[in-house]
Structure 1
Amino acid sequence: MEPWRHRPRDPMGWISPETFFFHFPSLRYAFGRNSCYLCFQVEREGEGHSSYDWGVFQNKVYFEAPYHAEFCFLSWFCDQDLSPDEHYHVTWFLSWSPCPTCAEEVVRFLREYRNVTLSIFTARLYYFWRPDFQDGLYRLWSAGVHLDVMSFEDYEYCWDTFVDHNGMRFQSRDLLRDNDFLATELENILRTTMNPLQQEIFFYQFGNQPRAPKPYHRRKTYLCYQLKPHDGSVTAKACLQNKKKRHAEIRFIDSIMALKLEKDQRFEITCYVTWSPCPTCAKELVAFARKHSHISLRLFASRLYFHWLQENKQGLKQLHASGIPVAVMSSLEFEDCWREFVDNQGKPFQPWNKLEQYSKNITRRLRKILKQQPQNDLENEFRNLHL
């Protein structure tokens, strides 16, 4: 019998502010914090309806064996009359990342329940220096689990959703003390680049809907690029995410610089980004393009980053003026990104509802910023360059 099949119990509704601030700080070493808290939300989607559950589990210790928070959740979840005709998206916010045993059982659970997807955001990494714990995290990621270290936005979301704060505003205090270090460690464990992208991440992060679909998480910056010599085949490609204090665009520049491309040969790079570049990244991309005239760069963005702010508009104008083509992703680019960068398992790209309508709306907004008039023929030529 699987460990989660016995002793189902109901979750807690809330945790206190004191519990949250003591057990959830992002610390490299957290002595005296032996309890693990698992804050969860479950979105159930079926024919014409959806529902939402949330709660908190804490690990329990019995005489026979410890009963970890992950097992508590699985026991409760399997007792909810799951339907094979519905899809369940589960999100965990953990004070400690899963141990190897929990990781193995979660992977086994996901293999049995193919209609369940899981995202894990953790405050700390449990024994991250031990190979068996590293292997457990990697196995979760390989099984399709989205893994990340909790960001400021994740902490704020947990505070609003799971903490009995009595109207007190969220203050980060020292919650993010070692966040950068832990994010780097997790990235190293998961092999620094995310190739290929998981399907769930692609649809959520690259979706061009005006509002993020449920469950409501921050849509982050992902940059997928492929490089090829002029009139040649692709020689390098990768997908990068923002790393703490270092945006994906800057990491992209670092990656290309590290290749030491021959200056007497021409290269072409196509980038697909979830958000258009911020002003700082736009400036760096312009400087990169000017310094490396033998590299032709073009950008396709799914969404425009705070397009109403003047500094962001100016960044887009600088890119355009420097000769770096910036366009909005249409179904053609989404399909290419799906084919080249996603673990699609041979499935064709399935557009989401109103994809083209959203794309056209964003394109009109970009043209207004750049003061361009619609030029369908020119745009079609640009898209058909086959770089």
Structure 2
Amino acid sequence: MSHAVVIGGGVGGLAAALALQRRGWTVTVCERAPSLDPVGAGLAVAANALKALDVLGVGDAVRELSAVRGQAGIRRRDGRWLVRVCAERAAARHGDPPVPLTRAALVGLLAERLTPGTLRPGTTVHSADPDSGRVTTSAGDLDADLVVAADGIHSAIRRALFPDHPGPAYAGVTSWRMLVPRDGLPCPAAESWGAGRVFGVLPLAGDLVYCYGTDTVPAGGRSADERAELLRLFGDWHDPIPRLLEAADPARILRTDVYSLSRPLPAFHRGRIALLGDAAHAMTPYLGQGACQAVEDAVVLAHLADRPDGPAAYTAARLPRTTRIVRRSASVCRATKARHPLAVRLRDTAMALGGRLDPDLLLTATDGILGWRPPT
């Protein structure tokens, strides 16, 4: 029986482990943290990722957590809608509307379906040999027919395989993420755009709201009180944003500078090692496709893994698609960074006009992403 070693116990790594197990592989997941404690607050599982999760037997469990109803879209900082869509039309076009949920919930759904003994928390990977498949860890060596490097945006395995690649670059924005009690507030799913700033509100199951904000600032900044900083930046924006920020726990607000692999890798594999998720194609968060593309990666890699040219076929299948999505996300990021009043007005006018001309603008613009189908 073929054996795979997965490096990293995040969404992508767990999805890869489950996908491979469902195709008859034995799998060992090495996670350096002592337990599966997902980094981040929430995410949105889009229609393409739900199709991939269906292959893993997880899709319906994710759909049950959907709390998005009615209208969603993009607003101005004063609350005026620029472009919007309803969940029913999204489902009719792409099969499902997006499902926002906590990252912990998705990690839990994946992890609980793995064969007992698959996960090895507290295990640090020191190196992986692409020729032999030997993985050196803090708990001893492992031999693998396939090594899946899902070790994140600052992947040590990627650096070892492609030392001449420049690695992740700062996208020019920092982000804040938090989970906030809803407490009866009306919270339509929306992203609000201002001058160089964005604030997102996504209702979740269990009376929670996933909130996130971005601002165009130099890298490395920190505030003694991040909630106070968010109130300074967004406190005069439309409801319910100020009230959600007032309800946020300052100790649980995550601030992270946004980096991406703006220059594509030459390949997603070398020898027996395949890179997956952020290790292969880290992108800005503006299309909500980071975790979604990692789940796609997992399903495609498992589908091809038994072939003699499996890793090479995986690169051929995934590199062109993810490169396009990284670039699309970067272009949206550039649009959100507009600060000059004239540039902001032109951007907002163009979006509003586009939405009037095509009521399904947000859907048609993402057909190429959300219309993806798993390999059969």
The answer, yes or no, to whether TM exceeds 0.5 is no
TM-score (norm 2): 0.21
Of structures 1 and 2, the larger Rg is shown by: 1
